[in-house]
Structure 1
Amino acid sequence: MASLHGRGDVRFFDRVASLYDRLMPSADAEALRAGLAFARRDVDRVLDVAGGTGRASRALARGGLDPVVVDFSRGMLARARADGHPVVRADAGSLPFRDDAVDAVVVVDALHHLPDPERAVREAARVVAPGGVVVVQEFGPRTLRGRGLVLVERAVGFDSRFWTPTELCTLFAAAGLDARIVSEGFEYVVVGRVEGTDA
C-alpha cells in the first residue's frame, strides 16, 4: 500500500500518516535508480507523485536527488515536509506543473490506489521533458504475495486496481511512453521514456 491520491482513500491515509513509516519498508532505491538510468537526459528535477510521506524521495536522496513530493493527503504531506522534503498538494491526475517541467516522475506503491490511473500516467508523461522517464514500482497481482495483497486491500475497502508488468507497459504505451520492464516479481518496476528531441 502507499499513499492515496485523487479522492478515494485519502482519509484513511490521513489517519495513518503518523504510523505509516513505521509500518512500511523503505523504498527500493536500487530499483528506482535502474529505472531512472533509462533516461536520455540528466536527471535532476524529479517528482515523487503520490509520494505520501516521501518514502521514494528518502531513497533517492541517498543518491543525491531531492524530489518534490506530490500527494493529495495533507497528513502524509505533513510527514514528508517534517522530513525536509519539498511538497506540493495535488491530485496525480491534474499535476500543477507545466509541460516538460521535470526530468523524471516516480510513483512508488501507489498507482493501484489512484482513481484514474490512466490520466495520472498521461499527466506524468506530460510534465516529463523529452528523454526523461516515468518510473513506476507496483505489486504483481499474480504473484503469491500479490494475490494476498489484493485480498487484504479489498478487505480494508480499497478499490485498488492492479496490473501485471506487461499490462502496465501497455498502459504506458497508450500514454505515448516507450515502455519496458525493469524488474519483475512481487514488487516490479516499469519505466516509460518520453520520446522526442532529447536535451
Structure 2
Amino acid sequence: MASDTRTGDVGIFDRFARLYDLKPATRRAKLAPALELADRDVQRVLDVGGGTGQGVRALDVPEGVVVDAALGMLAKARDHGVAGVRGDATRLPVADESVDAVLILDALHHMARPEAVVEEAARVLRPGGVLVCLEFDPTTVLGRALVAGEHLFGFDSRFFTAGDLAAVVRAAGLSASIPRTGFEYTVAGVKRF
C-alpha cells in the first residue's frame, strides 16, 4: 500500500505480492455508483495504494496508473500491463488537477495519515473528478473480525465508519456521498468546478 511515515504494512505487502491476486478481484459494478458521480468523463485514473492494479484493471479507461510503496506489488501490476510508480500517498508524484478519478480501494486503513492522503487525492483531481474510497465498517460484526484479524496479522490498520470517512472527504474540500453502505462501503468525493 502507499507509504507514509510508517513502513510496516509495506513490507508485508511486498512479501505477499505474488499471492495478492488470489483475493477476489474488484469488479467495475462495485465502483460504478461512485464513478458515475463524476461531473466529467473518467479517462485518467490514479489507483493509490493500488497494489497489483486490480482496481484500475476493473475499469475500461485510456490511462490507469498505480501508485504504491511496495515494489513487489508494482512488479505484479506491471505483469498485468498496468503502469506503476513507487510513491507516497501523502505526496503523490502527480501534478495538481491532472486526473479524473482517484481510487483508494481497501487501502486507506493501511495508511498512517489517511486525512493527508485524502487531501492529496483532492489536490490531484481535476474539477468534476471523483475520489472513490472502498473501505470496511469496523462497527459491523464482520468489521470487528477484520480489525482483529489485521492486527493479529501484524497490520497497523485504522478503520473509519462510512460517516467518519465522508467527514474526512468533506474536510478535504470535496462534495462527499456514500453510494454504497454495509460492511464493505464506498465513500465518494467530487471536486466541484
**What range describes the TM-score normalised by the shorter chain of this pair?**
over 0.9
Note the C-alpha offset of 1:29: 1.6
- The corresponding residue for 1:88 is 85
- The corresponding residue for 2:11 is 11
For the 8 Å contact 1:8–1:115, the answer to whether it is kept is no
CA distance in 2, matches of 1:128, 1:94: 14
CA distance in 1, matches of 2:92, 2:144: 31
Q: Moved runs in structure 1, 4+ residues, more than 2 A?
A: 3-8, 63-66
Where 1:47 maps in the other structure, the secondary structure is strand
Note the C-alpha offset of 1:28: 3.1
For the 8 Å contact 1:48–1:69, the answer to whether it is kept is yes
Structure 1 counterpart of 2:71, one-letter code: R
- The corresponding residue for 2:44 is 45
Structure 1 counterpart of 2:14, one-letter code: D
Listed one character per residue, the Cα deviations across residues 44-77 of structure 1 (whole Å, up to 9, x for unaligned) are 01101100011111211xx345410110100000
CA distance in 2, matches of 1:165, 1:33: 18
Matched, 1:190 2:150: no
Where 2:67 maps in the other structure, the secondary structure is strand
For the 8 Å contact 2:43–2:61, the answer to whether it is kept is no
Where 2:58 maps in the other structure, the secondary structure is helix
CA distance in 1, matches of 2:133, 2:157: 16
Q: How does 1:89-104 map to 2 (within 5 A)?
A: 89-104=86-101
For the 8 Å contact 1:139–1:186, the answer to whether it is kept is yes
| TM-score in terms of structure 1 length | 0.92
For the 8 Å contact 1:181–1:189, the answer to whether it is kept is yes
Matched, 1:141 2:134: no
Listed one character per residue, the Cα deviations across residues 72-123 of structure 1 (whole Å, up to 9, x for unaligned) are 1000000000110011110111001111011110111000001111110000
Q: Residue 71 of structure 1 is aligned with which of 65, 68, 73?
A: 68
Matched, 1:170 2:178: no
CA distance in 1, matches of 2:96, 2:174: 15
**5+ residue gaps in structure 2?**
none
Listed one character per residue, the Cα deviations across residues 120-143 of structure 1 (whole Å, up to 9, x for unaligned) are 000000000111110000011111
Tell me the C-alpha RMSD between the 2 structures. Answer: 1.1
| TM-score in terms of structure 2 length | 0.95
**5+ residue gaps in structure 1?**
none
Q: How does 1:119-134 map to 2 (within 5 A)?
A: 119-134=116-131
- The corresponding residue for 1:55 is 54
CA distance in 1, matches of 2:28, 2:141: 23
For the 8 Å contact 1:99–1:126, the answer to whether it is kept is yes
Matched, 1:161 2:162: no
Note the C-alpha offset of 1:4: 5.1
Q: How does 1:108-127 map to 2 (within 5 A)?
A: 108-127=105-124
Where 2:17 maps in the other structure, the secondary structure is helix
